[in-house]
Amino acid sequence: MSENKVRINKKRHVFKAITWNALAMTTTYLVLTILPPYFGLSGISKEGAGFLTIVDRLVKLVFYYGHERAWFASSFGLVKSNKKED
């Protein structure tokens, strides 16, 4: 039985970690600066911070899933073997 194994370059992991961190930081910034007025909050109170923490986690969960799917579809950093096995 022949298996087509794909090696993943370490640069892919590093680049993925950097892009995820950038996306996560941007999400946090947007959630803390844009969403409060939409929910009748002014500034960040204790109640607001708790609410925003929950919203932040839910939004990041959705973005993380999309990020993972995008990386799964990407061929960046993938090294395919050219060996043919009989």
Residue 5: burial class (beta carbons within 10 Å; 0-12, 13-18, 19+): exposed
pLDDT at residue 1 greater than cutoff 50 = no
Q: Which one is predicted more confidently, 32 or 73? A: 73
27: domain range? 10-78
Task: Tell me what pLDDT residue 24 has.
Answer: 85
Decide if 41 is inside a domain: yes
The model's pLDDT over 8-64, given as tens digits with 9 standing for 90+, comes to 788 887 888 888 888 888 888 888 778 888 888 766 666 776 787 788 788 888 888
Decide if 55 is inside a domain: yes
Decide if 1 is inside a domain: no
pLDDT at residue 78 greater than cutoff 80 = yes
Quick one: which H or E segment has residue 35? helix 35-38
For the entire predicted model, the pTM comes to 0.54
Decide if 38 is inside a domain: yes
Q: Structurally, how many domains does the chain consist of?
A: 1
